[in-house]
Amino acid sequence: MSRLDVRKTYKLYIGGAFPRSESGRSYEVVSAKGEFLANASMGSRKDLRDAVVAARGAFPKWSGATAYNRGQVLYRVAEVLEGRRAQFVDEVAAGEGLSTRAASAVVDASVDRLVWYAGWTDKIAQVLGNLNPVAGPFFNVSAPEPTGVVGVLAPQASSLLGLVSVVAPVIATGNTAVVLTSADRPLPAVTFGEVLATSDVPGGVVNLITARTAEVAPWLASHRDVNAIDLTGAAGADGVDWGALEAEAAGNLKRVLRPSVADGGAVEPDWNADPGLTRIRAFLETKTVWHPKGV
């Protein structure tokens, strides 16, 4: 007798748990060929607010962890992701319309990107900090510190490598994240939430919301307990004006990372390029301390 497949239920990832949207809504996710893949929860403003509360609650412990520990945690995420490689290859191939070989390369690059950022966690202070020369008997030391809760619009086209490339630098530097996933290709992001949950990432450090970007992004940009926002995912998102989102963020003095712009419009960057330190720097603030040298 034949059996029915056990179909996966794709939920949100908030505070280390997997709730359904409080709105009770869902939407169909289709492949690059238009074939039905799954139903995903359609996150709401209330879900977003819950995610911000979770991220704020996780921030003191995560930002207070040693840089070495954060690096170990990120490396563990890479280990678990690689252990679920086959599932990610299938989801990336279906969502992005790639061959199995090309999707495999995307998953491998995502694992490598996590390892790359894991290696930076305990080197950031040495590279971006400084002992400043001053007149007088004082030490003057500048050191980078995390900004706080960061809202992230994940890339629309690059559902895994792009996602990893925007989330990893946020948490590597001690921030916590509220992420709006790719609206049309959310499945790798939800599975990435399962990777986070089975790694050593504390609940609330990363929160993933599947939703229509245009519906909830303005609320993320204007939320007063979000300290910074990455607008990368505005490129290719239906009905999203990144300039308007930046204006919303400016209303409460958020730090903003603008999307790449070409020919007057937002475009996704080349995620296979060397990431450099741009995203590491984006959500750090410099704290300067004066201390007397003594006699």
Contacts of residue 75, Cβ cutoff 8 Å, sequence gap at least 6: 114, 115, 118
Q: Which position has the token pair 């599947």?
A: 210
Q: Is 38 helix (H, G, I), strand (E, B) or coil?
A: strand
Is the CB of residue 209 less than 8 Å from the CB of residue 48? yes
Span 129-167, pLDDT tens digits? 888 888 888 888 888 999 999 999 999 999 999 999 999
pLDDT at residue number 141: 84
Alpha carbons 187 and 135: distance in angstroms, whole number? 57
Span 208-229, pLDDT tens digits? 999 999 999 999 999 999 999 9
Identify the weakest region by mean pLDDT among 64-78, 110-124, 147-161, 253-267.
253-267
User: φ, ψ for residue 61 (rounded to 5)?
Assistant: -70, -40
Q: Is pLDDT of 182 > 90? A: yes
Q: Which of 155, 197, 147, 198 is nearest to 173 (CA)?
A: 147
Q: Is pLDDT of 107 > 70? A: yes
Task: Please report which residue ranges of 66-186 form alpha helices under DSSP H.
Answer: 67-83, 85-96, 100-120, 124-128, 161-172
Global confidence as pTM:
0.93
Q: Which 3-state string (H, E, C) describes 165-198?
A: HHHHHHHHCCCEEEEECCCCCCHHHHHHHHHHHC
Give all domains of the chain, ordered by start, each with its CATH number. 26-292 (3.40.605.10)
The whole-chain average pLDDT of the chain stands at 93
Most confident of 31-35, 133-137, 177-181, 244-248: 177-181
Q: Is pLDDT of 295 > 80? A: no
